[in-house]
Amino acid sequence: MHTITQNINNAIQFLKKGKLVAIPTETVYGLAANGTDEHAIKKIFTAKNRPTNNPLILHFASLEAVLPYVAEFPEQALKLAKAFWPGPLTLLLPKSDNVPESITAGSLRVAVRVPDHPVTQKLLSQLDFPLAAPSANPSGYISPTLPEHVEKQLGDKVAMILDGGPCNQGIESTILGWDTSEKPVIYRQGTITPQDIENVLGRWPKIVAKKQKKIETPGMLSTHYAPKTPTLITNNIEASVKRHPQKMLGVITLMPHKQLPNTAKQTYLSKSGDLTEVAKNLYYTMHIMDAQNLELIIIERAPNEGVGMAINDRLERAASYKEDNL
């Protein structure tokens, strides 16, 4: 049997037996297991080489299916769920006793979401348990947006990869919770923007970025959310290319750009500069660039507005260097 297949029935059988199955979502591919089975959950951490203190998101077919797994569904959360589910929004809610310890890593809040992908919707609706699923990449590497990315990175660790084609959002879901005074807080930015949240709740959310790694000094590549090739982000692509003439360069611009000197590979993320399209193509393009044996990848920053904020957050994490204000 091929690892990449569209056979939902096989996926159901594997998941019921406690095996790992990679699943498509609208954001990125997930590495899924039965979210109520401690033994199956443990396999996720092992396969990804993920620290067990990093909690997992539970995925459900519908809002109703979430209810047994939360102690309460506060009004603001309900408004957001009704506005954005199924969709790329993960909510942090008080957990119920049905959620295993290993899912939340000891936290009293559980991360829940209803993904918007027809294949995974069909799968979830035929299971009587939620799916625990982090992004299907080895810890520290770029998330997969195609079944082939999963196969390359974790193919020997999964029973199968459920083929749902390319992910149409392309970056991970927005994660939102509330602080002790019930103010909404975005813990991870995504294609559902602070403006989208304000439109529903009538208040602008606080944005709390998880502590980002420091950009290392040259030569010291850090590896969180990152390609293996050293990666530089810049707001002045021409100046940065000029500064690295001796390197085998790969260049990724937001929009089509005239041929730059000395680049081994040059590409762009969106014909029109549409930020939703930039997000969709970002990891896909980074995966391609990372396979070219380049010495340095230079990526252009997005305007820091709307979905651009989430894009820049991911670039920041992928980068080993940055050059701004050149």
Site residues for Mg ion per CB under 5 A = 135
- Residue for token pair 């999964």: 158
Task: Figure out which of the listed residues 86, 100, 134, 194 binds ligand TXA, where binding follows CB under 6 A.
Answer: 134
Q: Taking contact as CB under 6 A, which single stretch among the options 102-110, 119-127, 227-235, 251-259 is the one that binds ligand TXA?
A: 102-110
Angle, CA of 152, 142 and 122, to the nearest 5°: 70
- Give CA–CA dist 181/229, Å, rounded: 43
Check binding of 90 to ligand TXA (CB under 6 A).
yes
Minimum gap (Å) between residue 237 Cβ and ligand TXA: 28
Cβ 260 to ligand TXA shortest distance, Å: 33
Cβ-based nearer residue to ligand TXA, 101 or 295: 101
Distance (Å, whole) CA 47 – CA 43: 6
The Cα–Cα gap between 148 and 131 comes to: 21
> Which residues on neighbouring strands pair with residue 95, listed in sequence order?
70
- Cα distances (Å, whole numbers) of residue 263 to 45, 251, 278, 298, 301: 39, 7, 21, 10, 18
- 96 φ/ψ angles, rounded to the nearest 5 degrees: -100, 175
From the list 20, 57, 162, 249, which residue makes contact with ligand TXA (rule: CB under 6 A)? 57
30 binds, among ligand TXA, Mg ion, none (CB under 5 to 8 A by kind): ligand TXA
Give the pair of three-digit tokens for residue 262: 């000395």
Which of residues 42 and 244 has its CB atom nearest to ligand TXA in the complex? 42
Q: Closest approach of Cβ 112 to ligand TXA, in Å? A: 9
Residues making contact with ligand TXA (CB under 6 A): 25, 27-28, 30, 54-57, 90, 92, 104, 107, 109-111, 115, 133-135, 172-173, 175
